[in-house]
Structure 1
Amino acid sequence: MTTISKTITINAPISKVWEKVSDTGRISDLIGFLASSIQEGDSRVCMLEGGGELTEKIVSVDHELKRVVYAITSSPLNMDFHVATMQLEEDHDNTRLNWIVDLLPADARDHMEPMLDSACADMTKALAA
């Protein structure tokens, strides 16, 4: 298994950032390579901009910890396992978002890390707006 960890600082208060991050059905509003996202219960389907879809299970939305946990259960990205945590921390007037992704096989990192870098750049802008 491999772990990818990303941390971004968002120029916005934690309450504003959490409002958007915790609205898990609207993840496509935050990440540019997602054309759309639909959630029913704890199941979320994200359509990729270039085609294909990710099926995900929302494991936890913890308002006290400001933490979302989700797992990709089906995707065209050749992963056997994917679980991720997004957790917010207050950083003066800003918010720090820590995104940790565990995945198998380990070489899935080669295509996932650039996607996460792109998503982090998108979220830095979208969450500050």
Structure 2
Amino acid sequence: MFTKQAITKKLNVPSEKVWEAISKIGRLDVWFPFIETCKVEGDGPGALRYMTIADGGGDIKDTIEEIDPKKMKLIYLRPISPFPVTYYKGTVEVFTSYDGLGIVVWTIDFESKSEDSASVAEIIQSAISAGIDGMEKDLMK
């Protein structure tokens, strides 16, 4: 079953600063409470991001597909995931609010068995929301 899960939040941080942090593709271990380590190999499209989940929760590998500075958009594929999915694509976009602050729209497209889709969507919603909150706290320092 193909599912789209979008999480949107306006941050108290200028959009340019938000985009700069996202485009560097690292620091997920700082932003996401459940990510223990985050290591990046390479730059730009084709770069690989390796993460481990705390408490032996598994490994994650992302391949960066696109980084578009003009559109402030990052796309990654996740071929290795602890979730019961057969396909996982993340798109992170930053928009500028009328007051110059950043609005993050983080969309996950995934494919899973129909019986797993609701629980995976719930996990993604919770995890991405926590990560965006963590990013905001980090960028406000």
> TM-score, normalized by length of structure 2?
0.82
CA distance in 2, matches of 1:88, 1:36: 24
Q: Which runs of 5+ in 2 are unaligned?
A: none
Range 108-117 or range 50-59, more displaced: 108-117
Q: Which residue of 1 aligns with 2:109?
A: 102
**Aligned residue runs from structure 1 range 46-85, under 5 A:** 46-51=51-56, 52-85=58-91
Task: Kindly state the Cα deviation for residue 2 of structure 1 after the two structures are TM-superposed.
Answer: 0.5
8 Å Cα contact 2:62/2:80 also seen in 1: yes
Matched, 1:116 2:122: no
Take 2:125 and 2:15, find their aligned partners in 1: how far apart are those partners? 25
In the other structure, the counterpart of 1:10 is 11
Q: Which has the larger radius of gyration?
A: 2
Question: What is the aligned-residue identity percentage?
Answer: 22
Structure 2 counterpart SS, 1:50: helix
Displacement of 1:119 after TM fit?
2.0
Instruction: State the alpha-carbon separation in 2 of the partners of residues 118 and 36 from structure 1.
Output: 16
Shift of 1:77: 1.6
The 5 Å alignment of 1:19-34 reads 19-34=20-35
Moved more, 1-10 or 98-107: 98-107
C-alpha separation in 2, matches of 1:102 and 1:114: 15
CA RMSD of aligned residues (A): 1.6
Q: State the partner residue of 2:49.
A: 44
Q: Distance in 1 between matches of 2:140 and 2:73?
A: 18
User: 2-side partners of 1:120 and 1:25: how far apart?
Assistant: 13
